[in-house]
């Protein structure tokens, strides 16, 4: 087949307001398979829109010019790849490969893209998100052979690897007076930075350049090194012992990524780091103090249903406390990979069948059982990291998205772990004590209701009696700009709504979405991001956990689109 090679440039992430508009329109048109909140979440732009690819011309497909193909590719990676996959083999959305799309025909595809479907396809045309000309381009684009992004192997990683300050030139002891256990790493999403904020003084210590849209921050077992990874798969290593904490190494592990973690098992503290990518579908194990890549492993393979999948994206990764292992989510295959790092040359991986579309999750209070959200399957998989096996698949609400979840002692059911949901207003509370509360273990013991769907995070602290729930992707500003808080001792009472965005006192008309509660090290403060567009004012609001009253607001022109916040102590010790 004839091939064209040409360069593409990113369009930028689909604005939340636009996503909310088509999500709401989808709901109004009767597309019951997708909520407005889920539509916002799943149409976030992919860095692959700017990656050079090849166009294989399919003689059976309607013709496209180079310019039209480029436009179609940009639209697909900004709005469609999150559901249908990079190779269009299907993920949470249906496959859109040429053997299917050509057979369906252009008129069918035009109707499908324009009006959507009850199964969850947004109505791109009638919502106004795509013009008739753009719908026509996408009709022809999805009948073409899907362009595959390039692979990213050891050669490419080594070319990207930089050791800015070698280990032998770094401090031998902590060279600053900061209370590092109460330091916060705050994602400045659209700036490609993280803000390091002193939790005691509420002052910014440093703004550190990172990859785009940092997804998570993780701490080494010792608490010295901070690892942050962007959606563009750039990984940064920050040394917190420096007089002014800053980057000491960086590595690009692929073209799109979400996860990073470090070795925590006794004897391996700070030795290794692991990062997983969406593209290529693989994970890499690195030296913990330099990020030198040591081992790359592909996740391509069979799903739990027995079908081959070429694109199992690596989602959440956690470090086992019971074995020298990393717990790796292969999203599309539904397999949890227990990766033993004692001998990288003879790598041992135990594959546990769970449920498809594994995404995020966290440990219950003993750190033995990983509560793993298979979000598009509406399930929580309970993984025993001591025995390396699946304990239970638990049916929960629509599209669970716990972040790490929340552990607390329920007055009736004992130790529990809770998740909130993107697709509905419920909270599933699951019993987690198979010893003293065996009758409640691995069951949904309570279903609570909060202010609305579109939640991303739920949080509490062992020292708190509060359970905090956000809903930043809810289309109603009254919901997205507030927080819902429950009294753990009286859950049946319902939640109190706090106007966090109003408390921020921002002067402009930004979106002011309130996202991700995070506790300080003492467990007596809760921090919230008030997240507006990059050209609008944002802030971090600090609330007294005991009184639920405003304590302080952190405002600074440098706080551009703050989202995730990671306290060093809580992240280091898996406290949530």
Single out the catalytic residue among 359, 367, 421, 450: 359
Q: What would the two tokens of residue 254 be?
A: 């692929």
DSSP 357: S
For the chain, the farthest-separated pair of C-alpha atoms sits apart, in whole angstroms, at 68
Q: Is 495 an annotated catalytic residue? A: no
Tell me, letter by letter, the H, E, C secondary structure of 276-316: EEEECCEEEEEECCCCCEEEEEECCEECCCCCEECCCCEEE
- CA 450, 453, 455: angle at the middle one, nearest 5? 85
Single out the catalytic residue among 121, 242, 338, 371: 121
E strands in 214-264: 214-219, 225-230, 234-239, 246-252, 256-262
What separation, in Å, do the N-terminal and C-terminal C-alpha atoms of the chain show? 54
Q: Which residue has the tokens 């799109």?
A: 256
Single out the catalytic residue among 8, 31, 55, 84: 84
Single out the catalytic residue among 31, 215, 323, 401: 401
CB 316 within 8 A of CB 372: yes
Closest CA to 181 of 576, 568, 573, 574: 568
Q: Is 437 an annotated catalytic residue? A: no
Single out the catalytic residue among 16, 80, 286, 495: 80
Q: Is 83 an annotated catalytic residue? A: yes
Cα–Cα distance list, 439 to 363, 412, 433, 436 (Å): 20, 12, 9, 9
Residue 102 DSSP SS3:
helix
Q: Is 359 an annotated catalytic residue? A: yes
Single out the catalytic residue among 53, 83, 157, 338: 83
Q: What would the two tokens of residue 528 be?
A: 């919230």
CB 175 within 8 A of CB 241: yes
- Alpha-helix runs per DSSP H in 8-49: 16-28, 36-42
Query: For residue 98, with 0-12 CB atoms within 10 Å meaning exposed, 13-18 middle and 19 or more buried, which class applies?
Result: middle
Q: Rounded to the nearest 10 degrees, what angle do helices 132-141 and 66-79 cross at?
A: 90
Q: Is 55 an annotated catalytic residue? A: no
Enumerate the active-site residues.
80, 83-84, 121, 359, 401
């Amino acid at each position: 087949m004839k091939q064209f090679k040409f360069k593409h440039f990113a369009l930028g992430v689909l604005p939340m307001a636009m996503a909310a508009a088509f999500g709401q329109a989808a709901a109004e048109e009767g597309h019951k398979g997708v909520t407005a909140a889920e539509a916002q979440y799943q149409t976030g732009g992919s860095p692959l829109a700017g990656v050079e690819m090849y166009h294989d011309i399919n003689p059976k497909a309607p013709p496209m010019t180079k310019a039209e193909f480029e436009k179609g590719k940009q639209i697909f990676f900004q709005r469609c790849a999150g559901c249908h996959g990079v190779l269009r083999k299907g993920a949470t959305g249906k496959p859109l490969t040429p053997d299917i799309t050509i057979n369906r025909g252009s008129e069918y595809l035009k109707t499908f893209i324009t009006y959507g479907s009850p199964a969850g396809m947004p109505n791109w045309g009638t919502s106004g998100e795509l013009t008739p000309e753009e719908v026509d381009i996408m009709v022809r684009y999805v009948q073409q052979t899907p362009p595959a992004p390039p692979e990213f192997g050891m050669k490419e990683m080594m070319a990207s690897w930089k050791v800015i300050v070698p280990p032998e030139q770094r401090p031998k002891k902590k060279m600053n007076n900061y209370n590092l256990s109460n330091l916060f790493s705050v994602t400045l999403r659209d700036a490609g930075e993280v803000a390091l904020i002193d939790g005691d003084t509420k002052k910014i210590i440093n703004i550190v350049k990172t990859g785009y849209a940092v997804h998570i921050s993780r701490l080494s077992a010792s608490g010295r090194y901070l690892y942050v990874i962007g959606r563009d798969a750039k990984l940064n290593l920050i040394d917190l012992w420096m007089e002014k904490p800053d980057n000491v190494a960086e590595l690009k592990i692929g073209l799109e990524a979400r996860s990073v973690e470090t070795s925590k098992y006794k004897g391996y503290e700070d030795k290794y780091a692991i990062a997983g990518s969406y593209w290529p579908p693989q994970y890499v194990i690195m030296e913990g103090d330099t990020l030198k890549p040591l081992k790359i492993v592909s996740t391509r393979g069979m799903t739990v249903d027995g079908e081959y999948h070429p694109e199992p994206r690596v989602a959440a990764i956690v470090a086992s406390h019971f074995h020298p292992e990393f717990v790796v989510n292969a999203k599309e295959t539904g397999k949890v990979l227990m990766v033993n790092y004692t001998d990288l040359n003879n790598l041992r991986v135990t594959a546990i069948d769970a449920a498809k579309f594994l995404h995020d999750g966290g440990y219950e209070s003993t750190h033995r059982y990983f509560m793993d959200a298979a979000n598009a399957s509406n399930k929580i998989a309970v993984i025993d990291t001591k025995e390396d096996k699946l304990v239970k698949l638990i049916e929960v609400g629509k599209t669970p998205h716990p972040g790490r979840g929340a552990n607390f002692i329920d007055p009736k059911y004992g130790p529990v772990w809770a998740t909130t949901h993107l697709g509905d207003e419920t909270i599933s509370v699951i019993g987690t004590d198979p010893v003293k509360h065996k009758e409640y273990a691995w069951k949904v013991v309570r279903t609570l209701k909060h202010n609305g769907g579109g939640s991303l995070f739920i949080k509490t602290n062992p020292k708190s009696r509060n359970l905090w729930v956000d809903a930043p992707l809810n289309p109603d500003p009254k919901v997205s700009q507030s927080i819902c808080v429950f009294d753990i001792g009286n859950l049946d009472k319902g939640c109190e709504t706090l106007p966090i965005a109003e408390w921020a006192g921002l002067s402009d008309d930004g979106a002011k979405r309130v996202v991700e509660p995070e506790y300080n090290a003492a467990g007596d403060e809760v921090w919230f991001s008030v997240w507006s567009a990059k050209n609008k004012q944002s802030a971090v609001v600090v609330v007294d956990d005991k009184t639920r009253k405003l304590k302080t607001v952190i405002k600074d022109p440098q706080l551009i689109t703050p989202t995730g916040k990671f306290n060093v102590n809580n992240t280091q010790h898996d406290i949530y």
